[in-house]
Structure 1
Amino acid sequence: MPANGHVVIVGGGLLGLEMAASLREIGVRITIIQRTSRFLNRQLDALGSQLLHEEMVDQDCDIYYDDEIQLFYGRSKLTGIGLKSGRKINCDAMILAVGTTPNMELAKACGLECRRGVLVNERLQTSDPNIYAIGEIAEFNGTLYGITAAAEQQAHVVAEYMNGDIASYYQGSLFMNIIKIHGFDLCSIGLPECPDDPAYEEVVFIDKAKRYYKKCIIHQDRLVGTILIGDKGEFQEFRDLIANKTELSEKRLQLLRSGSKAEPVLGKLVCSCNNVGSDNIFKKIEEGCHTLKDVCTGTGAGTGCGSCRPEVKRLLDEALGNFLAKAV
């Protein structure tokens, strides 16, 4: 592909948009094709999607909604695509970022009960109690969890149960979505919009000109969803409030008004979800956090998408190894 080539990205989900922003940073021309009418329609409300659209436009991405690819041009290599709308776009490469669909051929051949995925119970057992399913193929209470954190939680439940802990069971996972675009903060946790029910309330702060938008959804004095755009400093606090179903009481008045400054990134960036550096992690270890769980809880690293947890574990092992060496 030429140095300043043109790439078409099919799919305006988290990965597609992150790839678009990364390629724009190195000067690649980008066109995004989105089948629906807006970005992240399941993770954001209409205003959140609009602010994300404006950010991608500012990054000089061409965007086509309510459209999809119908034709490919080129013989030995791709030279262009044709859209269902009739538009032709010349390009040098194409990236498909359209999500995943569970491959259930083997499960069905084994006679396991399947719907959208392989059905599992609170132990992650399929209809055959000797077979377990976790990750994107596992359907629990009608939901497929396509996030790393859910797969890790499910794996933990299975491991504990198989190791004799009969109290280990799965209750579902909290949906969290964090987009990693340099200079643009966006995340959503739990419900992105209020259901059609007067028992749900919204606390909102908006500055459209600054592309700054924060929304909390409250039900029965508990936080059940949030969207943070422009600043995700409350991510860890709000995630814990939602996950623990904490009663807000006087905290309600402080939502979106904390004004607290996030700890600066120290050392090499390890967790881009919560802006945690290697030295932030070493600092917590020196303060007495000597397990992966304690380090993640104390710093916030690994509590977003979870992809940095292996690196956090490596840093923990390195630090503990150095402590032991000094002690000897």
Structure 2
Amino acid sequence: MSELNTVEAEFHRVDRRPLRTAAVVGTGLIGTSVGLALSARGVTTYLLDRDPEVAREAAALGAGRAARPPHPVDLAVLAMPPSAIPSALIEYQRSGLAHYFTDVGSVKLPPQRTAATAGADLRGYVGGHPMAGAERSGPSAARADLFHGRTWVLTPSARTDPAAVARASELIRLCGAELLLMDAAEHDRTVALTSHAPHLLASLIAGRLADTDPARLRLAGAGLRDTTRIALGDPDLWTDILRSNAAPVAEVLREVADELAVAVAALDWLAGPDPAQQLRGERELHHLLSLGVAGRERLPAAAAQPAGR
């Protein structure tokens, strides 16, 4: 039995008590949305942020109390960029903020390894990643239903206490998401394909518009807007994400680059005078476009979003 299967089997045998108290460290979009969801379900939630004013803004929206809890809470959620997670985990474990910890970072293996090397107690920690977000950032963009129907990955290590997984799974249930247990390395390879590389590619396409004549942009249709929507993400956060998951993202982009080279060659053939090369170019493009259709059709239906969002 694999380490993940062992943790999963033990997790199902753990007595899962209700989550009564929680702390959210980092009150941006995701952290504030977690606070809103938990507070709406009756969980006493404390909000901490390196900028106290941001925590107070989240509290004013109903996400919890902008204060440090007087006693260790049941679960602390670290809502911050991947590179900040290891030091925050160690700091708050040592200060007794919570009995168990999770995070919402979009890269899992490097923070886990760094935290272990730096002396974090991995028994009380399980990595997490809700597959939800928005182009806008900050507390004002948060909403309690952000995670409804979305997949929320947990990546326990071999040292993770099943009780920590149980606590984090209760968080996921209260937020209306669906739990998926994954190996940390497999998670990082997967999101490189499904999230990180697409974000960078969208940014590269959108970047071509930066110096374009505004009159030409009046021709932009829904396809361009859909393709570049995610390019509005915070560059500081996304630089951190891409740095943390650099090797898997580079692997995906190398494969895309190979196919881009094929597409460029095919277009050059089509633009040239040789009928044989034109036919070859047409076949190459048709093959690439057909692969795109086949891949797109494999995607599961997206979770329904509230009206107006």
When normalised by structure 1's length, the TM-score is 0.25
Structure with greater strand percent? 1
Structure with greater helix percent? 2
When normalised by structure 2's length, the TM-score is 0.27
Q: Which has the higher contact order (CA 8 A, sep 6+)?
A: 2
